[in-house]
Structure 1
């Protein structure tokens, strides 16, 4: 059943009313929220979903065999003038060289699994921020875990170079949302130099998390860390969890953890992603994150909300101008090259982005007299159906991290490539698709592929490579936090910190 159409001012058709579905013809897709929150069920489910490359290719070959051996299928294909091969095509790809991770006074080559969780807790981070004035809020029943967590913090803070003072322990009578909000507000009022707020929570409480983040990101801007009591309840895992939390807290305070060698100088890298706000129908949130130093360890972030009638580019321009001003404030000059990674663009929107977004971005450089930087604009696509395998010793396997494919299966109209940046422990290799829409920086495809792979090493919430460049992931986290929990723009005072990690 289709609902009725109603005219809107401007002649647009608006569909209103309920959409009725026939139950027998409808099937649920995706994973329910309840299952996502149940770690054991999710683990069992992923065991069935993430089949190995061998199993996956076997299933595909069986499907192709069934199609070819079915007369009805062949008849239908011949009507369209199509032929289906029974073999999976073999194409020659490349593997990019491994990167070197740089800390404050040491560096190391990454291993084949591209994980460095052990190395980063043995040596000083690039710039640890001393934590002098901070507070821990917890309900009465979590008192022992709160004290135990701080004791573990003290043990693991030294090796990573973090100086940690005793926090203010604030015990709450109950775990109601108002109790947390009132206590945090009271502490922030009495101690204006507070650096960080840590909240220990019981259970998955979206209402409580949202209230804490609204207070700490919008009303009284201060970096905040929410910790679920279940995360710190296992004494066996407490040390490694405390190390991860400390590194995350250091990032939120404006500290710098690690980087890779970036040969390009006077470079700004920008990540953009869009999230659709759940509370306000049809409203989108754009997360914008830009690097403001040469080692790509300091980031400037902004958020813009827009309705469907508004052009995304209007908010994009405001963010880019603010980022350029911040870059100038830090370096006393403007970047010579700007590389934009734009997430959340489908194939159908590529022309719109090329014809509208990019010219508008170039236009905003005119605000700075005589400023003509080189611009590179790359669209990042994660949701693709392409699967890559590695053909080794007559067997299909998962491709190693750094695998590049830039021919045969690429677009005829664009310069594009597929990159597998992350290590896959189970399942098949889903690469990320990168489409180059604009390039005045004279960067060759090889330079862009190397730079993109380097950017996949810089996400500080994970000591390893991720599927997309770090600024894209940061922009996604920022847009998700703002759209899902804050429902408004974060305070400008937090824009030079990764408070949204």
Structure 2
């Protein structure tokens, strides 16, 4: 053990870029003695030392990760370890993907389990800095355009570079205004350019007279780009859309391949069973995966307008062929704003037939009508904004054109986007959701087959029709056998709530956005939302009491004077270390919101069930190789597979539920932890209700991986992030998240949309 007074050692080391070694003092102090016995007692049923048990668990996690984290060829990130090897692929933009694994020790009903899963992360390619600049902006010669300079200032901030003339490693702070031949500093009483200094001091003659320097360290040291090389093993935190799509494809592994990769990581790459560090701490790791018992819950029956009773079968997906929505909405007045090229888009938006058959508008209107959404007989007017027109003015013009064409206020504006770029989408939603209070539905011209060959257009139109119906107050479907379910089948008013908080990207700063949604009808399909801004990084929903009270008042008005007799609260995005704090603060906020809804002299205190939903974990289920009946076509476990034994928490009411069918890669189950169950659902009732709710997501004809209330809260929170506007009116992603350090404005959701599902 380290003595109580600590250890002091003196070592010699030569930092990178320095010739002479330095003599350094290293002090090791004893922080605490962690008792592993507390962990044993916790697993066996004693909860009075839970905090100490988790301290021991963290220490053992470090022990198991130590050997691989210290290896020269590895990149340790949080609980993951990544490697550059045969699986490395380029992501474009100067990045590449490294494969590795995530590991964590978990307390389970059967004792301690080591959870290992495959993982991937993006890493900057080790290359000359000028090549990275070319990857980012395609420009390394001639004056740097302002737009390219802004992007490089954002993307290169924090990137570490190694200099070729000194070998030192420094982090980039920003770009200089001038080139090395223009930037000067005072030396021995006179001004010297960076280029002249380097030639005189190091004999380095620069050739690039156009590119700026990079300011490193505290910003006072300027380095020419041509003398810098990207330092190795730097994780890239911010990916663009193309890079994100590519890393998902690379990381997606079929169940059999993933299981083989996990086995390779455990027994060969990390070699946990033979780890000498683990053995030194008395740990013994099995080389085999754990076999657990599971049940497959029955799928629900659904009710549509036609047919009245619909069986989606056990595959977790179905389609809208010959199906009408349960409650189709009315679209009496609408218009289109097209930001795509008018020359190619006009025919698909204005004519019934084109040179290749039915146009997009004809097929979309036909799909709306078939599904039960009533529309005018005439096609909507189309606005093609001038290049200099603002998005707000374009949507406002569309609103006026709809009023003129149909003699009624616009109920919806369909917005055609040229691509999936975030900036234009952000402006559209700010104009519609905040300034005008008018629902908009965005579509991408290429995906809709507008101005290009159409592929899969009927299914695309059906998916958009579901969103439109939900935004206009309609109901696509409901559960047909609700009598089997607790609370919902009792024929008494209830409310299902969902909550989530979205945070700024690491290193950007800025506020967090909290969202709470609440069901407004007896079918648990229509959810009103409340969205607020709060201090960045704060996971607790600061205004939960006010948001829930507002939703209760909304429910009171929507149901003509009724109050929910039961509350079911799904909380998304909370880590296990935050369970206790969330319980104390947010459960109390629910109680306070209800108390303020009571009548004079009569307490309003409905029973509450508080559930935390987690998707950011690494537990995966694989069907046994000998069992062909309990797997879907992709090789994943069936929708409805639930596990609540062996690997579940040793004390808490928790379960894993795989509620969706596999599309690509290996399915990940959601983990549900029930902190409070005053409604007395019990394990069977909670699992069945949660699974059946997954069939009611309004955006697709699939059972989804997380119950809709949590998913709707997630969508509403991300829509709220689009409502951030940085100082000076800039709506770019960086300034909106507060990365520039300026004042951030939150554009609140227009009161006209308080009841609408604008966020889907």
What does residue range 273-352 of structure 1 map to in structure 2 within 5 Å?
273-277=500-504, 281-308=509-536, 312-331=540-559, 332-352=561-581
Aligned pairs for 1:65-464 within 5 A = 65-66=267-268, 73-105=274-306, 106-117=308-319, 120-138=320-338, 140-141=342-343, 142-147=345-350, 148-165=359-376, 166-172=378-384, 174-176=386-388, 178=390, 180-188=391-399, 191=403, 193-233=409-449, 234-260=453-479, 261-262=481-482, 263=485, 264=487, 265=490, 266-277=493-504, 281-308=509-536, 312-331=540-559, 332-367=561-596, 368-369=598-599, 370-393=603-626, 397-464=635-702
Deviations 1:6-29 (A, max 9, x none): xxxxxxxxxxxx867465452335
Return 320-329 or 261-270, whichever deviates more: 261-270
Gap regions ≥5 residues in structure 1: 2-17
Q: CA deviation at 1:479?
A: 0.9
**SS at the partner of 1:209?**
helix
Match of 1:54 in 2: 256
Deviation digits for residues 469-498 of structure 1, max 9, x if unmatched? Answer: 111111111111110355422112112111
- Farther-moved stretch of structure 1 (85-94 vs 189-198): 189-198
Q: Out of 704, 714, 735, which is 1:466 matched to? A: 704
Cα separation, 2, equivalents of 1:70 and 1:438: 37
2:756 paired residue number: 497
Cα gap change, 1:355/1:461 in structure 2, threshold over 3 Å: closer, same or farther? same
**Hey, what's the Cα distance between the residues in 2 that align with 1:474 and 1:415?**
24
Q: Distance in 2 between matches of 1:68 and 1:310?
A: 35
Question: For 1:359, what is the secondary structure of its paired residue?
Answer: helix
Gaps of at least 5 residues in structure 2 are 1-14, 16-156, 161-168, 170-229, 351-358, 725-745
Equivalence for 1:12: none
CA distance in 1, matches of 2:397, 2:250: 49
Distance 1:19 1:241, change over 3 A: closer
Looking at secondary structure, tell me which structure has more helix per residue: 1
1:187, distance to aligned residue in structure 2 (A): 4.2
CA distance in 1, matches of 2:688, 2:409: 42
CA displacement at 1:313 relative to structure 2: 4.2
**8 Å contact 2:295–2:642 — kept in the other structure?**
yes
Whole-Å separation in 1 of the counterparts to 2:295 and 2:588: 34
State how far apart, in whole Å, the 2-side matches of 1:90 and 1:422 are.
Answer: 21
Structure 1 position 138, deviation (Å): 2.0
- The 3-state SS of whatever aligns with 1:231 is helix
Q: Is the 8 A contact 1:418 1:431 kept in 2?
A: yes
1:392 shift after superposition: 4.5
1:235 is displaced (CA, Å) by: 2.7
* 2:747 equivalent in structure 1: 488
Give the conservation status (yes or no) of the 8 Å contact 2:515–2:714. yes
- Cα distance in 1, alignment partners of residues 520 and 448 from structure 2: 35
Q: Distance in 1 between matches of 2:432 and 2:604?
A: 37
Cα distance in structure 1, aligned partners of 2:508 and 2:237: 23
**Does the CA-based 8 Å contact 1:67-1:74 persist in structure 2?**
no
State how far apart, in whole Å, the 1-side matches of 2:267 and 2:533 are.
50
- 2:242 pairs with one of 13, 35, 47: 35
Q: Distance in 2 between matches of 1:209 and 1:136?
A: 15
CA distance in 1, matches of 2:680, 2:434: 41
SS in 2 for 1:107: coil
Report which of the two structures shows the higher radius of gyration computed on alpha carbons.
Answer: 2
Distance change >3 Å, CA 20–CA 427, structure 1 → 2: closer
Whole-angstrom distance in 1 between the partners of 2:239 and 2:508 = 22
SS class of match (2:563): coil
Task: Report the alpha carbon displacement of residue 81 of structure 1 after superposing the two structures with TM.
Answer: 0.7
Are 1:299 and 1:498, in contact at CA under 8 Å, matched by a contact in 2?
yes
Measured at CA, do residues 394 and 227 of structure 1 come closer, stay the same or move farther in structure 2, by a change above 3 Å? Answer: closer
- Name the stretch that deviates more: 271-280 or 469-478: 271-280
> Which whole-Å CA distance do the structure 1 matches of 2:713 and 2:244 have between them?
24
Q: Tell me the alpha carbon deviations over residues 332-389 of structure 1, each in whole angstroms, 9 at most, x when there is no partner.
A: 2111110100001111111101122212221221111321101000011100011111
C-alpha distance in 1 between matches for 2:252 and 2:747: 37
Q: Check the 8 A contact 1:129/1:162 in 2, yes or no.
A: yes
Aligned-pair CA distance for 1:464: 0.5
> What's the secondary structure of 1:218's corresponding residue?
helix
Give the Cα–Cα distance (whole angstroms) in 2 for the partners of residues 31 and 310 of structure 1: 21
TM-score, normalisation: structure 1: 0.88
Q: Deviations over 1:300-359 (max 9, x none)?
A: 111011115989444111111111112222222111110100001111111101122212
Q: CA deviation at 1:88?
A: 1.0
Structure having greater relative contact order (Cα 8 Å, sep ≥ 6): 1
Query: TM-score, structure 2 length as denominator?
Result: 0.59
Q: Quick one: structure 1 residues 133 and 240, their matched pair in 2 at CA, closer, same or farther if it must change by over 3 Å?
A: same
Change (3 A) 1:483 1:86: same
Alpha-carbon shift at residue 100 of structure 1 (Å): 0.9
Tell me, in whole angstroms, the C-alpha distance in 2 between the residues paired with 1:380 and 1:440.
18
Specify the SS of the correspondent of 1:273.
strand
Equivalent pairs counted in the alignment come to 476
